[in-house]
Chains A and B, each alone.
Chain A
């Protein structure tokens, strides 16, 4: 699959979830979740809507608080019930995120969307940030558009800018929360291509997606979530071709039919 890159299995994991539980009121959305991600690993999380897969990755950068257990990201611990501002910010500085709805800043130019955080958080000069932005925008195939505003770009272009924006912080880990779900079908490919490149370059990634073909191709490990639990995980071949759990089989037969 990804023979040209290295997964550092011996190194300490970048992400470690330890018996993480989360409730939304009555709803138990994460049940004793244990999950580790090694540096360089691409983990794709699949499952039906409402299974808790988005919640899971949103816990990793503290956008969702959790009630019990422990999450460690790049050596920093997120405690239950919402970590304190500083440690949370420290984690988020090293973790990039791409959202379903892009969430570009509509009042800023494409360039400023990408350079804002490096300048304000990393303290880079405008020139340094601009140079990096140019390089990243070119890498995701959005050159010569830096002076435009998000609303002037197509959905696929906006999502690639969102990717460049996250990469500008030079994150150690990238989270993707259904990055292609809000896109017109003809634009899904260009976003997946950019993500494929990133995976090839050895970025550690946690991806929530409904694109099963992409998951099979890019994932080092596929994690199937159902009812807030990790029901099954393994290589894409193992999970897709020979699922052991009945729920996995039911889910896959539904999504792979069409």
Chain B
């Protein structure tokens, strides 16, 4: 066997059309999951700072459970475990989206909490003293400012979640890594293919961070 191994650019480029088929699944799972996760995060983040303990405690419970367990275990639990409870299979993509949503939702809850709590008390007082209701004060004054401060942390979470979807190859979702593994099984070009997979992840995450920094600079949020 020839131990002199060279990086074969042609093999790398040849794998590209096949790998690209995985990109839509990666994007669907990560952005679908993040969108739902954002809604979850907003809800539980606000519950987390509510005066009532009946709202606060469930939020703390949810956040601790989903931050404190690996996303891989979460998706395995949803895909292989939950069907026994539900009595029917869960599609792999659905399981993946759910896992990202629940996992990112826990982190985003904390981001939301931090963002809202970072707004000076005087802002709320000014809103209330003008006769705005607590809800209006939150809607027009606190939330827009908090959201803007949350962008960097949300961007971080987005990147983490996009990369987390690579774990879902284990449940057979045809995302990037899974596509690569199938391709490697046929061609034995692991070096080139994993390199290309890494590049594609980088392209996705870099686009996201560039979009967010643009958003941040232009102050388009709020």
Contact = CB atoms under 8 A, between A and B. Distances in A.
A39 to B, nearest CB: 20
Interface in B102-149: 120, 122-123, 125-134, 136, 140-141, 144-145, 148
Interface residues of A, number: 26
B222 interface: yes
A116 interface: yes
**What does DSSP make chain B's interface, helix, strand, loop or mixed?**
helix
Given A89-B133, A116-B130, 6 more contacts: A63-B128, A95-B129, A97-B129, A103-B126, A120-B136, A121-B132
A166 B148 CA distance: 26
Nearest to B141: A105
A20 interface: no
B125 A169 contact: no
Given A116-B140, A120-B136, A120-B140, A105 B131 contact: no
Interface in A85-141: 85, 89, 92-97, 99, 101, 103-107, 116-117, 120-121
Given A107-B145, A107-B148, A99 B126 contact: yes
A165 interface: yes
Given A103-B122, A105-B123, A120-B140, A165 B130 contact: yes
Contacts of A117: 130-132
Interface residues of B, number: 20
B145 A92 contact: no
A61 interface: yes
Given A116-B140, A120-B140, A103 B132 contact: no
Contacts of A63: 125, 128-129
A162 B136 CA distance: 19
A89 B222 CA distance: 25
Nearest to A95: B129
